[in-house]
Structure 1
Amino acid sequence: MTIQNRPVSTEIVASGALLPWLARSKALLSQYPGRGVAGTAEALGAPLEIIERIKAAVAAETVAGQPGLAGSSTAVTAFVAQAAETSVLFRMLADSSVTAAPMQTWLATSVMAATATEIDEGKPIPLQALNMRRDKLEAFKVAALIATTAELWTATSGEGQAFISHLLRAAAAEAADRALFQRLTNSGTFEATDYGSDLDAIRQMIEGMLSAVHTGAFSRLYWALSPKAWNWLVTMPNLPDSMNPFDGMILGRPAVLSDGLDPWRMALVNARAIGSNLERVEIAASGQATIQMLDNPTNDTVTPTATNAVSMFQTNGRAVRMILHLAAQPLRENAIAFATITEPTSI
């Protein structure tokens, strides 16, 4: 099995199944009183390997006094590896390409990259730049909420389990990329527009993006394309194989399909110019919650408003919530280049 030219091992598949099984078991915990999360998974027919993994996960479900599994745990890293198919942020995290940095901490870095210099004995070591900048790696949350009937969670087959896994990964992937691109917007000094949509225009656009972002040998580059931009490139007549993202590469660099970009948009990201961290993942479930069943909820604790809501208890429903605590911050300019393909008149 591969994801965008990346091998995915059996271990990753098994570990990646843990979070969906954990969500399902917590959703139905009240139906199997006294069994606990692992016992509920066993009653639902989870494989022995998954049950053992759930026991270990539940025992470790606290990170620095906060709820959740550590971002470095095998379950979370496997979930990220599988979600990397449709998220450039998760792809960079899975590849360990971003610059790992502590969250909520000021990072003092030279505006220019540090260099090493040959020196004679007794000579001072030159410092390339005294102009320092301070960047704080700010934490943000990516959340997914699934609400459905208890019967569906109970009767979920192997295929249904895979469907739940897909829902969680797809939701987290899109939200993570939108958060990433929003934070990188001000670090991009190149915005390609009005290049047209023929092959020569695409070449010029890609050359401009590379010149803006690939400024040093330290770069680790990733292409991200919206579905429309992807579709246009893979079907363009006479497009060289080296520029075709269908096999997950453009000019030898990974190309990721992302729902986090607006239509006809594409981006070139330098992972080394980004500080990032995945601290922890929380999974909680309730059959007692009252949910505002909207993808744009209006009610909150800051400005409460009157709203229609659905009681999970009254409808025999189960709500499962997954929250990823992430950080992604540009450490220097030219961390990203954006481009908009001119919409072809034939589309």
Structure 2
Amino acid sequence: MASYAEQIGAFEAKHAANVATMKSLMDAASEKGETLDAEAQDQFDELQSENEAVEKHLSRLRQMEKMAAAGAKPVDGSAAKAASDSRDPRIPAQVKAAEKLDKGIAFARLAKVKALAKLDGESVREVAKSLYGENSSVYGIVAKAAVGAATTTGTTWAGPLVGEESSLFADFVEFLRPQTILGRFGANGVPSLRRVPFRTALIGQTTGGNGYWVGEGAAKPLTKFDFNRTVLEPTKVANIAVVTEEVLRDSSPSAEMIVRDQLAAALRERLDIDFINPAKAAVAGVSPASILNGVTPVASSGVDADAVRADIRALFGAFIAANNAPTSGVWIMEATTALSLSLMQNPLGQAEFPGITMNGGTLFGLPAIVSEYVPTGIVALVNASDIYLADDGGISVDMSREASLQMDDAPTNNSATPTATSLVSMFQTNSVAFRAERTISWAPRRTSASAYLTGVAWGGSAAP
């Protein structure tokens, strides 16, 4: 039996042929200036009646075609029986909805699958299939090509994670980005930092020249322009997060969130601290300096609302005096400082600064970014357009269960000059260490691109 599409095509062709014949009958009569004769009338009426029936039948065929399409199922050629069943109209189709995951969960699943494959010496594909099924995005990634079982001696266990153009990795970066100070620039009304590539010379003008009035025959004075040259070299931020094997083997969504959150936390703290802490100086070839490093601070004048306004006025004065555009300014402060501002009230019981909350908002018309990693007592005003940011947008993850770690956020170990210290064995404690790395760097176009306050205790008790 012909398919619905073939039947529709045949009847449409018949309908068109009838219309063409009817047109030729009318054209012949028009040329003679006569009406249709009896024979032509009968032929025309017969064709018209036939086309009306064809149109009704075409409507029924199109309706049946839609119904057939709604019940269609994809052909499965993975096995002979599956291929036969998928073509059998007596076997109903199965509709499967794609699983909707929170940001970063798919990446955490991939890291978890690779870790378990290494721990158990199994195929990555088999672990992904047993945990999440063949229709999961994780299985789709690892099943692209033949993947051998991971071994404990492999030094490139996470090689496939590096440079893989997959939505899983982009999804994790999107999860991490809004949790960092850097990632909040360019979102929700906050001006963007100036994106630049790595290893590219950036020439900036630091001082301008002067023009002079010159009389007839007089010598023209010279003027001088000063420039600086900035090159952002790739620098790598890394940290290690530790989870137990029990958590790793747990298939519940909460366990996957633990893996995801641990990987994100491994990078978030270091990025925020080094970006905003004035004490952070550059280490050549290792890490960039804070955007506040080398900037002369402004001391806070007090704790009440009047002192807040005086401090903001002083900060704006230093910011504008350096030729920074106030429209691209962004506040950066502690969450507790933002909370204190939001709790301050005027004599009428109204919020003194209604635009600010502990999650951010606006202060004196400019957006505010809050982070728990801003040093205590510091409030910064940053010209976003004067901060260079180079970011490759990727992330790499490695894991180990054989390592021994110094469980400290400021480790003293150094392979060149080792120091005796207490170490924790991952094997002995049934734990797995994930090392997360991200290539990123930043630099202010000029030192005066930022201004900041110190000793801020707004909303607190005045010193006796």
TM-score by length of 1: 0.76
What is the Cα deviation at residue 73 of structure 1?
6.8
CA, structure 1 residues 312+336, in 2 after alignment: closer, same or farther (shift >3 Å)?
same
Please state if 1:259 is matched with 2:366. no
Counterparts of 1:72-221 in structure 2, within 5 Å, are 74-75=167-168, 77-92=170-185, 97-111=192-206, 130-181=225-276, 182=280, 183-186=290-293, 188-189=295-296, 191-213=297-319, 215-217=323-325, 220-221=328-329
What is the Cα deviation at residue 334 of structure 1?
2.4
What is the Cα deviation at residue 15 of structure 1?
5.0
Match for residue 420 of structure 2 among 303, 306, 310: 306
Number of residue pairs the alignment of both structures matches: 314
How far does the alpha carbon of each residue in 1:232-282 deviate from its partner, in whole angstroms, 9 at most, with x for none?
112112313134555533344332221221123221222211111222321
Q: Relative contact order: is structure 1 or structure 2 higher (C-alpha 8 Å, sep ≥ 6)?
A: 1
What is the Cα deviation at residue 211 of structure 1?
3.8
1:70–1:76 Cα contact (<8 Å) kept: no
2:331–2:381 Cα contact (<8 Å) kept: yes
Separation in structure 2 between the aligned mates of residue 72 and residue 213 of structure 1, nearest angstrom: 41
How far does the alpha carbon of each residue in 1:158-190 deviate from its partner, in whole angstroms, 9 at most, with x for none?
12222332333334222102121232123635x
**Equivalent AA in structure 2 for residue 221 of structure 1:** G
Separation in structure 2 between the aligned mates of residue 145 and residue 204 of structure 1, nearest angstrom: 43
1:109–1:132 Cα contact (<8 Å) kept: yes
Give the CA RMSD over aligned residues: 3.6
Separation in structure 2 between the aligned mates of residue 71 and residue 108 of structure 1, nearest angstrom: 33
Separation in structure 2 between the aligned mates of residue 72 and residue 253 of structure 1, nearest angstrom: 36
Separation in structure 2 between the aligned mates of residue 67 and residue 79 of structure 1, nearest angstrom: 15
Counterparts of 1:210-289 in structure 2, within 5 Å, are 210-213=316-319, 215-217=323-325, 220-238=328-346, 239-244=352-357, 246=359, 248-279=361-392, 280-289=394-403
Separation in structure 2 between the aligned mates of residue 50 and residue 254 of structure 1, nearest angstrom: 38
**3-state SS of paired residue (2:355):** helix
The residue number in structure 2 matching 1:120 is none
How far does the alpha carbon of each residue in 1:1-57 deviate from its partner, in whole angstroms, 9 at most, with x for none?
xxxxxxxxxx99755333322332232222453422x5434433377134435668x
**3-state SS of paired residue (2:185):** helix
What is the Cα deviation at residue 299 of structure 1?
1.2
Match for residue 52 of structure 1 among 109, 131, 140: 140
**Equivalent AA in structure 2 for residue 232 of structure 1:** S
Please state if 1:25 is matched with 2:84. no
Separation in structure 2 between the aligned mates of residue 12 and residue 137 of structure 1, nearest angstrom: 38
2:243–2:259 Cα contact (<8 Å) kept: no
Greater share of residues in strand: 1
The residue number in structure 2 matching 1:345 is 461
39-48 or 167-176, which deviates more? 39-48
The alignment-based identity, stated in percent, is 27
Counterparts of 1:31-46 in structure 2, within 5 Å, are 31-36=119-124, 39-45=126-132
**Equivalent AA in structure 1 for residue 369 of structure 2:** V
1:282–1:323 Cα contact (<8 Å) kept: yes
**Which has the higher Rg, Structure 1 or Structure 2?**
2
Gaps of 5+ in 2: 1-98, 148-158, 209-222, 281-289, 347-351
Gaps of 5+ in 1: 1-10, 60-65, 114-127
